Amino acid sequence: MTTARGLEGIVATTSSVSSIIDDTLTYAGYNIDDLAENASFEEVIYLLWHRKLPTQAELDELKQQLADNYDLPQEVLNHFKQYPIDKVHPMAALRTAVSLIGLYDEEADVMNDEANYRKAIRLQAKISALVTAFARIRKGQEPIAPRKDFGLAANFLYMLSGKEPEAVEIEAFDKALVLHADHELNASTFTARVCVATLSDVYSGVTAAIGALKGPLHGGANEQVMKMLSEIGSADNAEPYILNKLNNKEKVMGFGHRVYRQGDPRAKHLKEMSRRLTELTGEPQWYEMSTQIEELVTTQKKLPPNVDFYSASVYHSLGIDHDLFTPVFAVSRVSGWLAHILEQYSNNRLIRPRAEYTGPDMQTYVPIGERK
């Protein structure tokens, strides 16, 4: 057997959901640049789940199905109110809540294509409400019911703040959702596929994926980027701060990628939204600092920014709490997780890799009284 640490370079399965080839990301064959500029998040959900863009009638039907399933069980909202709010990270709350709503789905353990698709609709529809409800309850506020006339991007911002978002805010958040929707066989997606390959249920698969995303080596980088920007404070401080990090061989969050070598194709779209939003909010320093940092790290380390770097200032400008950045990632990526889960079910084989044994061998049992 040949060992590859972290399964790097190993092709573990086939998939028609998304691809990364020569630094180009596609969803079902559509270039991410094309989708980011033209498609809504709902269109991308349909594309990932059906491998084709929807007709207007198909898109309208999907939007209606999502709207019909926005609401959360009251038991889940009550459960949030029992959490030790000051000690619970939103990702832990989301992981628990997704598992919990499975208890109130009568089809949770029904295993056929139609039932699994209906569960995908319910999870996609409800995940925004889970994140925003927890965000409000921990501040002593009541959750805000979703509006049936709003799409997913507008509803998330509305349920978080209680205010109708501006058109540019909806555009920015919708674009961020499109860009984060899927990313081939990343750690959380692989976790979801491993889970459901045992023929476990959809809720278990998504719960497992959230558990993987919670780790700082996968999700959470944009939260760390915002922490760094907050520490820098102003554009004047950016250069000495970053040079000090580089001289001390410390990692600058939001740069480099395990798969991309020439640069993350998603970053440029969020960079433009960061510029527009920071101007709108009257806080251009976040964008100014970011561009200075990008120039320094790209010049000094030859590392281009990844999708996390500019998403930090985008989410901050949208009024999203910094520890909600990773749950926002999940709000988008659940669309990809569900696409992969449905694909895994359709042509399933238990995922069971091997491990190269490196422990002692040729040992003999010694009675307990004779052991030293």
Kindly state the tokens that stand for 32: 């991410």
Which tens digits make up the pLDDT trace of 255-282?
877 677 677 899 999 999 999 999 999 9
Q: CA-CA distance, 75 to 73, in Å (whole number)? A: 5
> Tell me, what's the pLDDT at 87?
86
3-7, 10-14, 115-119, 329-333 — which is least confidently predicted? Answer: 3-7
Assess contact for 144 and 158: CB atoms under 8 A. yes
> Tell me, what's the pLDDT at 139?
94
In CATH, the architecture of 221-317 is Orthogonal Bundle (1.10)
Using alpha carbons, select from 270, 278, 266 the residue that is nearest to residue 318.
278
Based on C-alpha coordinates, what's the Rg of the chain?
22
Local structure of 31: helix, strand or coil: strand
* Percentage of the chain modeled with pLDDT above 90: 84
82-91, 193-202, 268-277 — which is least confidently predicted? Answer: 82-91
Q: CA-CA distance, 361 to 45, in Å (whole number)? A: 51
Local structure of 205: helix, strand or coil: helix
pTM over 0.85: yes
- Residue 293 predicted with pLDDT over 70: yes
Angle 14-20-24 from CA coordinates, rounded to 5°: 150
Q: Which parts of the chain are beta strand (E)?
A: 18-21, 24-27, 30-31
- Residue 364 predicted with pLDDT over 80: yes
Phi-psi domain of 15 (left: phi exceeds 0; alpha: psi -120 through 50; beta: other) = beta
Which tens digits make up the pLDDT trace of 124-180?
999 999 999 999 999 999 999 999 999 999 999 999 999 999 999 999 999 999 999
174, amino acid identity: D
> Tell me, what's the pLDDT at 105?
95
User: What burial class does residue 76 get, using C-beta atoms within 10 Å of its C-beta: 0-12 exposed, 13-18 middle, 19+ buried?
Assistant: buried
Class of domain 15-216+324-346: mainly alpha
pLDDT band, residue 239 (cuts 50/70/90): very high
Long-range CB pairs of 247-253 (<8 Å, 24+ gap) are 252/228, 252/293, 252/297, 252/301, 252/303, 253/221, 253/224, 253/225, 253/228, 253/308, 253/309
User: What burial class does residue 338 get, using C-beta atoms within 10 Å of its C-beta: 0-12 exposed, 13-18 middle, 19+ buried?
Assistant: buried
Mean pLDDT of 208-225: 90
Assess contact for 80 and 56: CB atoms under 8 A. no
pLDDT band, residue 12 (cuts 50/70/90): confident
Residues tagged active-site: 257, 308
Assess contact for 120 and 338: CB atoms under 8 A. yes
Assess contact for 122 and 69: CB atoms under 8 A. yes
> Tell me, what's the pLDDT at 258?
67
For the chain, the domains span 15-216+324-346, 221-317
Between the two ends of the chain, the Cα-to-Cα distance in Å is: 35
